[in-house]
Chains A and B, each alone.
Chain A
Amino acid sequence: MTAKHAITLVLMALALSAFGCASSTKQVLATGASAVQLRSFQSRAFDTTDSETTLRTIIATLQDLGFVVDKADADLGSVSATKLSGYQLRITVTVRPRGEKQILVRANAQYMDKAVEDPKPYQDFFTSLEKAMFLMAQQVD
C-alpha cells in the first residue's frame, strides 16, 4: 500500500515537473501581439543609406535616453543597450537596407521580464531618434 502510494507520488511529481517545463519553454517562441502588428510599430524607414552613421546616431540617442550600451555590431547592424532606473529596460535596435534609398530601423524592448508590446514607447523612441537623425521617421507597413 505504502509502496503504491510512493509510486503514485513519484509519478505525480514527474507529471507535474514535465508539465511545468513544457509550459515555460513555450515562452521561447511566444509572442503577445501579432507579428505583423509588432513589426509595424517597432519599425520606421529613414531616407538614408549610411548604416554606420545611422547606428552611431542610434547609440547617441540611446545614451541620451539613459541607456548603457551592451554591445554593437556594425556588420550585422545591431545595437543592444540596458537602462537601469529603478527598473531594468533592455532594447535591441537593428538597421538594414530597405530598397535602394532607405534604411529600416527596428527596435524591440523588454521591460523587467516582459516584452514591450505597447506602441507608445516605440513612438517615443523614434521621435527622439528622428530629431537626432535630422530625418523624418516614416511609418512602414
Chain B
Amino acid sequence: MTTGFTALSSARRTIALLVLTLSGCVTIPPNALKMTPDTLERRHLQTRRFDGIEEKKILAASAGVLQDLGFNIDESETKLGLIAASKNRSAVSGGQIAVAVLAAVLTGTVTPVDKTQKIRVSLVTRPAATATSMGVTSSWYVRVTFQRMVWNTDNQVTRIEAIDEPAIYQEFFEKLSKSAFLEAQQI
C-alpha cells in the first residue's frame, strides 16, 4: 500500500512538472481563430429570429430569462445589443464521487473531484437584414453562447469548455420565446 502510494504521488509530481515545463512554451492552436466545418451548425443552434419586436424589448426579455436562470448580469451594451452574464454553481457529480471513493478504497489516495464551476453567457441581438419597415427594424436575430470553467477540490481547473449541448440552447430559446411574448403583450 505504501509503495503504491509513493509511486502514484511521484507520478503525479512528474506530470505536474511536465505541465509546468510545457506551459513555458505554450502556443495558440492553429485553428483557434479560424472558421471550422461546424461553425455554421453551431450558429444555427445558438441563433433564433424574433419578429415584430423592438431590440430593447427583446433584450429586456432576455435579461429576464437570464435572471430566471440565476445568472447575474456582468455587462450590457444596449447600443450593440449585448448582455454578458455569469453564475457560480456547484460542479459536484455523484458519479465522479463514487469513482473517487472506489479509488480511495483501492489505492489509499484521495482523488480530487470537481467542486465548483463558473458558467458564462453572452447574448447578442443583431438586425435581421431583410426586415426593415419605415427604417425601423422589427426582426432580430438573438444569438446566445454559453461556456464554463470547472475547478476541483484541489482548486485546480479541470475543464475549460464551450457548452455545446443542443438541448440547453433549445430550452433557453423556449423560455425566451415565452418571455418575449409576455414582453410584447406588456403583461
Q: Residues of A with Cβ closer than 8 Å to B?
A: 52, 55-56, 59-60, 63-75, 79, 81-89, 109, 111-112, 114, 116, 118, 120-122, 124-125, 127-128, 131
Select which of B33, B34, B143 is within 8 A of A63 by beta carbon: B143
Select which of A52, A73, A84, A111 is within 8 A of B149 by beta carbon: A84
The answer on a CB contact under 8 Å between B28 and A60 is no
Select which of B26, B27, B34, B120 is within 8 A of A68 by beta carbon: B120
Using known A-B contacts A63-B145, A85-B162, A112-B23, determine if residue A70 contacts B75 with beta carbons closer than 8 Å.
Answer: yes
Closest B residue to A120 by beta carbon equals B30
The answer on a CB contact under 8 Å between A111 and B160 is no
Cβ contacts under 8 Å, B80 to chain A: 52, 55-56, 59, 72, 74, 79
Bound complex: CA A59 to CA B79 (Å): 12
Any A CB within 8 A of the CB of B124 = yes
Closest A residue to B161 by beta carbon equals A84
The answer on a CB contact under 8 Å between A84 and B148 is yes
Q: How far is the CB of B72 from chain A (nearest CB, A)?
A: 14
* Range class of the B interface residue count: 35 or more
Cβ contacts under 8 Å, B148 to chain A: 84
The answer on a CB contact under 8 Å between A121 and B32 is yes
The answer on a CB contact under 8 Å between B124 and A128 is no
Q: How far is the CB of B177 from chain A (nearest CB, A)?
A: 20
Cβ contacts under 8 Å, B160 to chain A: 84-88
Contacts A/B (CB < 8 Å), 11 sampled: A63-B143, A64-B43, A67-B145, A68-B120, A68-B122, A68-B146, A72-B80, A74-B77, A75-B79, A86-B161, A124-B32
Cβ contacts under 8 Å, A121 to chain B: 28, 32-33
Cβ contacts under 8 Å, A83 to chain B: 32, 147, 162
Select which of A68, A84, A109 is within 8 A of B121 by beta carbon: A68
Cβ contacts under 8 Å, A75 to chain B: 79
Q: How far is the CB of B149 from chain A (nearest CB, A)?
A: 6
